Amino acid sequence: MTDENKTNPRAPLDVVRGRNKATGVTGTTEDVDAEAAKAEIAEQIELLKEEVARLRESLGILAARSGRYAVSQVNSLREDVRAGVAANPLSALLCAAFVGYLFGLRRR
């Protein structure tokens, strides 16, 4: 039991030198791990760039659609106001005079 708990004095402690089979680079496993991490991060960055490009395209489509929707809502509101003015011209005239009066008070 005591032999299992003791560390072998000949075994390397932290760094192992070797050759990376994929790249053929001789170095420490830390170097190989760092290069693998860099490659993985570069791949993730490329994926994120592609995702951002897709999101920009989607956002452009949504903005165009919402712009058309806003224009159609304004046109609909304009038609509703015209119909209301045609139905009640005296009320429309009194409302316009009141709004003009309020703007006049604001200018003082």
Examine the pLDDT at 17 and tell me if it is beyond 60: no
pLDDT in tens, 21-56: 555 555 567 778 888 888 899 999 999 999 999 999
What was the pLDDT predicted at 48? 93
Which range has the worst mean pLDDT, 7-11, 34-38, 69-73?
7-11
Give the list of residues 6+ apart from residue 16 with CB closer than 8 angstroms, or none: 28, 29
Helix pair angle (89-107, 29-87), 10° resolution: 120
Examine the pLDDT at 108 and tell me if it is beyond 80: no
What was the pLDDT predicted at 7? 54
What was the pLDDT predicted at 27? 55
Q: What is the mean pLDDT of residues 76-95?
A: 93
Examine the pLDDT at 18 and tell me if it is beyond 90: no
C-alpha 28/C-alpha 36 separation (Å) is 13
